[in-house]
Amino acid sequence: MSKAKRFKVDRLEMYPKDEVQGSGPAPLDDCLTSLNWLQNFSILSADPERPSGPGCPSSQEQLFHESFDTDSPSSPAAGHTAATGMPQYLGSDSTVGPLFSRYPHIQMQPIPLVEVDYKTNPKAKPPHSHSSLIYMAMQASEQPKVTLSTIYKWIKENFCYYRHAEPTWQNSIRHTLSLNKRFKKVPRQKDEPDKGGFWKINPDHSDMCVNRLFRRKKRFQGYQDTASTSSVNEDMSPEQKTLSPTDSRGTTRSPETLLDLGPMATWTCYSLSSQR
DNA sequence: GCCTGTTTAGCGATAC
DNA sequence: GTATCGCTAAACAGGC
C-alpha cells in the first residue's frame, strides 16, 4: 500500500465519517490561536480522574483542548518536558464505547494509559513541526542567539527519535531556518570561535508564529475529502498507529497539523475486522 | 571531508 | 482555484 493511501486509511479509521460530521469536538479556534503553549512547553497531563459523561467533554476532547489552552496548567520548564508530551490518552468505555458502538467494524481495544516519552522512545517521532522544534530549542537555550549545532543538540537530547533517525532531518532544519522568516540569521563575529552563524527568532515576524502556526485547524474537512478511500492498512505497526500520526510520506503531524487529526488522533489500538 | 547555508523542486494538506 | 505551509530530497557553494 502506498504511503498516501495508508494515511488516508489511517484517517478513516480514526474518524468514522458520520461521527465526524455530526457531534465532533467543539470548535478549537479560540484555544488554538495562542502560541503560549509552545513558549511554556506545556505538555499534556493525563488525568484519569477527569470527569466524563453527559455534559462533560470526553477525556480526549478535554485533554486535547487543554493541551493548547493558555489557561491550562503548564508543565515543567523548557528543556525538560517537550519530549514527554502528547500522551496517548485512551478513552474509557464511557467515552469511546458509544462512539464506536455505531461502527461495529471498528473495534477498540482497551489498553493502559500510555504517555509517550519522546526523550527515550526512538520510535516516537515528535509531533512538532521543524519550525516548532527550532523555536523550542531557541527558547530552551535561554540565549538571544543559537548555533545550528546547538539546535541539533537540543533536538537530539530531547527527542530520541532524532538521535536514531537518518540525518536528513538536519537538512530539513537548515532548510527551515533559511526559508522561514520567523528565524533570522546572525553572522558570527570573527573573534567568535566555532563555525557557522547564529540564528535567532525574528522579532519582525514573531506574529507569524501566533497568527499562522495554528492556522490549520479545519481538521475534519480533510477526512471527508478522503473518506471514500477504503482499504485496510494492516501493514502498519502498532507504533505507527499509536505514536505520532503521520502523513502520506511518513511525516509526523505537527501540533498544528495534528489538529487535523483531532482528539481521536490520540486514540490507539484500533483494528479493523474482516467485515471491512 | 565535513559542516553550514542556500536554493530548487515536488508533494500533500489546509486556509482563504 | 490559489496561496500558503510543512516536509523531503537533492544539488551546490563556501569555510574550516
Per-residue pLDDT tens over the stretch A227-256? 222 222 333 333 333 333 333 333 333 333
Find cell 519522546 and name the residue.
Answer: A118
Number of Cβ atoms within 10 Å of the Cβ of A1: 14
Residue A199 Cβ < 7 Å to strand B: yes
pLDDT on residue A206: 54
CA-to-CA distance for A182 and A201, rounded, in angstroms? 6
- Split at pLDDT 50, 70, 90, the class of A83 is low
Q: Smallest Cα–C1' distance to nucleotide B4: which residue has it?
A: A196
Chain B positions with any atom < 7 A from a protein CB: 3-9, 11-16
pLDDT in tens, A17-34: 333 333 333 333 333 333
Residue A27: C-alpha distances to residues A36, A126, A182, A262, A263 (Å): 19, 25, 27, 11, 12
Q: φ, ψ for residue A107 (rounded to 5)?
A: -110, 120
Task: Tell me which residue of A176, A189, A165, A187 sits closest to A137, measured CA to CA.
Answer: A176
List the single protein residue with the shortest CA to C1' distance from B12. A248
A186 strand B contact, CB < 7 Å? no
- The mean per-residue pLDDT over the stretch A208-221 comes to 39
Contact A73, A45 (CB under 8 A): yes
> How far is A185 from A2, CA to CA, in rounded Å?
38
Mean pLDDT calculated for residue range A212-240: 33
Band (A137; pLDDT cuts 50, 70, 90): confident
**Residue A101 burial (CB < 10 Å; 0-12/13-18/19+)?**
exposed
* pLDDT at residue A51 in the model: 36
CB of A174 lies under 7 Å from some atom of strand B: yes
Q: Does A57 score more than 60 pLDDT?
A: no
| Strand C: residues with CB below 7 A | A 128-132, 166, 168-169, 171-172, 175-176, 180, 195, 208, 212-213, 215, 249-252, 254, 256-257
Task: Give the whole-angstrom CA distance, residue A168 versus residue A259.
Answer: 25
* Three cell numbers written together for A192: 567568535
Among A172, A251, A240, A250, which Cα is nearest to A14's? A240
Q: Does A148 have pLDDT greater than 70?
A: yes
| pTM, full prediction | 0.52
Mean pLDDT computed over every residue of chain A? 51
Q: Give the pLDDT confidence score for residue A115 in this predicted structure.
A: 60
Q: Rounded to the nearest 5°, which phi and psi values hold at A88?
A: -85, 85
Q: Could you tell me what percent of chain A has a pLDDT over 90?
A: 0
Phi and psi for A205 in degrees, rounded to 5? -125, 20
